[in-house]
Amino acid sequence: MTNGFVRRYIFSTDHKIIGIQYILTGLIMAIVGAWLAVLIRLQLGWPEHQWVFLSRLLPKGMPSGVMTPEFYLAVVTMHGTIMVFFFISYVLVSGFGNYLVPLQVGARDMAFPFLNMLSYWIALLSAVVMVLSFFVEGGAAAAGWTAYPPLSAVASAVPGSQMGQTLWILSMALFIASFTMSGLNIVATVFSTRAPGLSMMRLPLTVWSFFIASILGLLAFPPLTAGAVMLLFDRHFGTSFFLPSGLVVAGKLLPNTGGSPLLWQHLFWFLGHPEVYVLILPALGIAFDILPAFTRKPVFGYRISVWCLVAVGCLSMIVWGHHMFVSGMSPFTGEYFSLVTLTITVPMTIFGVNMLASLWGAKLELRTPMLFALSVIAMFGSGGFGGLFLGNATADMQLHDTYFVVGHFHMMIGGVTLLATFAAIYFWFPKMFGRTMNETLGRLHFWFTFGPFFVIFFMQHFLGLQGAPRRYYAFTAFDYLRDTRGQNLAISIAALLLVSGQLLFLVNFVWSLFGGLAAKANPWQATTLEWTTASPPPHGNFETQPVVERWAYEYGVQTTDGDFAVQTVPARNVPVTA
Amino acid sequence: MRRSLETALAAALFAVVGIGGVVYGARSWMPPLASRHGAGIDAMLLYLLVTVGGLFLTGYLALAYLIWRGGRRDRIGTRLASHKTEVVLSVVLGLGMAVIAEGGVLGIGMPVWTEYFDAAPPADATVIEVTAQQFMWNVRYPGADGRFGRTAPQLVDETTNPLGLDRSDPAATDDIVTINEIAVPFGRAVRIRLHAKDVIHSFFLPHFRVKQDAVPGMTPEMVFFPTSTGSFELACAELCGLAHYRMRGFFNVVSETQFRAWLSTQAATR
């Protein structure tokens, strides 16, 4: 059996299998995360309604069919944690990163295949620990995905801060260990295993985006690891890193002295801000690379876009304080963070416009991956504009911790990444499984996804302008929020529509896995190296070592294959144009 | 090649989103304004809503047009833009965006921000101490002597002495303590010292454009000037536990005489 099924598909060191394992794990976690989102929306859309069938399913969390506040907070916390770390990070960054990077750089595998396998299994363990935390005494962590102490540090502050929060920290520690190994692997692979002729400036932008995202992860995660250990010590071993003197929680004076709750926020956001770029850069890179296959012309501004990603990566390390404008941090620091944060709009605008300009003069083919890639541009613009408000300290005074923030980050690290994930799955599914996904179902899925998603989170921005704070169990206790009732109802209906629409994807995915039409080696007539090998690629990826002769976007040229030249076509056959 | 129905639909989708978004957004969403510095914050938000609204509409219409146009071509138009075109477009748009974003911060935002945080509190400001705890707002006035009495966490008793007031301190004897209710006289600035007893809370007065986290171990101060009378809601804006969503207080701006009467009633009921 050692060389059989188990070795090949379970404990595999092949980056393609590991990538697919990550993607499948992430999709399962997405189902969990989406289910939690449904619970949130049921509560906010219909507060106090008794969902009898749910009381049978969740006797503890929804005893009479109405969610308890403690369960609500656990659900909100876990929805955020799961979607950010266990869905988007797994599917988009680790999954597609693993699958695509070696193929697109013309390598046989990742630089460290065994380490890669280890990353996946630790990642899986981390996900299991996180999900299991729902079942411990007090329920899952309930202090929000940002886990601000003292709420997250003191067990009597909220039920989720009992065992649930400890498991949350342990799961995050495992996640970070795994993500660091996987990031290191991607960086090493890009540095050391590129095919002959594949200079850095010939890499597809997808690889660039994984490369920069991985470097960011490597730089940003260690401080959170330190923070997580300190929080664990505060919780269980009597230290006071984040707990100041004189805390009286639930009527009891705590013995701690001398800590600072703000320290956690600095450590958390020092990771947290780069982390959102870890998620969004691959999404942008993937969308950027999918566009030319359906415009049949080269992308606009490849080199400038690369430098935009580099610039965004650097800037993302020095802007974390924009999450803390009203936290009690010095107002002078607020001015600094405001100015630096908004410089990010410059490279991001250029990048967005380059995507848009790539459509200029296009011969457009609206296949499913393209529909999703186009919607990435739209969502990226919409979400990005919200950043102009929140990066501005003066505007943020009113908007901080309201639904404006919820709307903004869902569009960016929820929407852009989700739409790019779908674009990527539809685009590379034929390569991964040798079968094609159903086109009609795919397009239908698009129409059920972009619209509802946009409506939900666009409306939430305006809830924020009305002053609706986030993480509220209901908006019934305040008079000034009475008018938000109808809006929340509309958002909930759109959310249910969005989630139902995803069934189309699930059906399509599973059905195509077994019954899809056989795929050719290069079904989209694309130019990057993965399309030069069979679908699915054999172990070792390429029959012979590919030699790269040109950049990744040679579309709109006359060749024997059609209107494109893959990166290995020699310059003497087809002139290199960039 | 004829444009397919779907291309037309996709172009229409993005055009509708762009136009619909601007139409939906172009309403007055904010709660009515009740503070002086809040006018600056509203100006900042208005500036952003207008500029961003314009960019949003332009972007969506451009996307819709490019889809509409690209769906009809049999062959590509421009293949590769010149390096110069790429650079010029980047520089122009990058600079344009920098001017809009940073210009807003420097031109409108920063002065408002600086004035709010740097302004010396007027001598006649009403001084109030607010101590947030799960799930209420403890409010304290210094009383006639103008001095807050000493407090100590060891003295806290949730039913009789939630602030841990040291009754042996002479300055503490005339301190006035209320729960979830703040009253201030109209026509004077308000100066609030913020504490938190247990976890982080956030003092949010939506109508006043005031939001400040209450962090245990820190004592941030806020100074602002009410511009209308009435009763306004105070909300907690930082997740603080189970009843976060109903941690509600009232901020009443009343006349000087009503304020004095209210204070003496509070002092008497103590």
DSSP per residue over A96-152, as a string? IHHHHHHHHTT-SS-S-HHHHHHHHHHHHHHHHHHHHGGGSTT-S--STTTT-TTTT
Q: Cβ–Cβ of A262/B218 closer than 8 Å?
A: yes
pLDDT score for A3: 65
Fold of the domain spanning B126-269: Immunoglobulin-like (2.60.40)
Query: What is the pLDDT, as a whole number, of residue B77?
Result: 87
pLDDT, tens digit (0-9, with 9 covering 90-100), for B151-181: 999 999 999 999 999 999 999 999 999 999 9
- Whether residues B6 and A366 touch (CB distance < 8 A) is answered with yes
Q: What share of chain B is helix, strand, coil (3-state, %, to 5)?
A: 45, 25, 35
- Bridge-based pairing of strands A252-253 and A435-436 is unpaired
Interchain proximity A393–B109, CB inside 8 Å: yes
Residue A567 placed within a domain: no
Examine residue A564 and state whether it is found in any structural domain, yes or no: no
Select from B30, B216, B217 the Cβ nearest to the Cβ of A465. B30
Q: How far is A94 from chain B (nearest CA, A)?
A: 31
How many A-B residue pairs are in contact by the CB < 8 A criterion? 312
Where chain A has pLDDT below 50, the residues are: 1
**Res A482: pLDDT:** 93
pLDDT, position B270: 62
Please report the pLDDT score of residue A1 as a whole number. Answer: 43
**Tell me, what's the pLDDT at A143?**
96
What are the pLDDT digits (tens) for A224-256? 999 999 999 999 999 999 999 999 999 999 999
A380 touches chain B (CB under 8 A): no
The reply to whether A201 touches chain B by the CB within 8 Å rule is no
Among B104, B109, B198, beta carbon nearest to A247: B198
Q: How far apart are CA A516 and CA A520, in angstroms?
A: 12
What is the Cα–Cα distance from A78 to A141, expressed in whole angstroms?
A: 7
3-class DSSP state of B213: strand
Residue in B30, B78, B201, B211 to test binding to A, most A beta-carbons within 10 Å? B211
* d(CA B160, nearest CA chain A) in Å: 11
Specify the number of domains making up chain A.
Answer: 1
Q: Where in chain B is CATH 2.60.40.420?
A: 126-269
Is residue A309 left, alpha or beta, with left meaning phi > 0 and alpha meaning psi from -120 to 50?
alpha
Q: Are A240 and A257 in contact (CB under 8 A)?
A: yes
* A336, A379, A394: best to mutate for the B interface, most B CBs within 10 A: A394
Which residues of chain A does B233 touch, with a Cβ-Cβ cutoff of 8 Å? 478-480
Any domain includes A561: no
**Domain boundaries, position A42:** 5-243+258-532
Q: Cα–Cα distance between B223 and A471 in angstroms, integer?
A: 27
Q: A130 is written with which tokens?
A: 């996180």
Inform me whether the C-beta atom of residue A371 falls under 8 Å from chain B C-beta atoms.
yes
| Backbone phi and psi for residue A249, each to the nearest 5 degrees, phi listed first | -110, 130
Instruction: Specify the pLDDT at position A577.
Output: 85
Residues on chain A touching B37 (C-beta within 8 angstroms): none
Out of A262, A338, A477, name the one closest to residue B105 (CB): A338
Residue A547, classed as helix, strand or coil, is: coil
Q: Which residues in A lie closer than 8 A to residue B55 (C-beta atoms)?
A: 381, 385
CA–CA dist A450, A379 (Å, integer): 9
Q: Give the residues of chain B that fall short of pLDDT 70.
A: 1-3, 270
Chain A: residue whose CA lies nearest to B109: A394
Please report, for the domain that includes residue A376, its CATH number. Answer: 1.20.210.10
Q: Which residue of chain B comes nearest to A469, CA vs CA?
A: B237
Across the interface, which of A246, A350, A473 has its CB nearest the CB of B94? A350
3-state SS, A221-256, equals HHHHHHHHHHHHHHHHCCCCCCCCCCCEECCEECCC
For B27, which residue in chain A has the nearest alpha carbon?
A: A462
Q: How far is B258 from chain A (nearest CA, A)?
A: 24
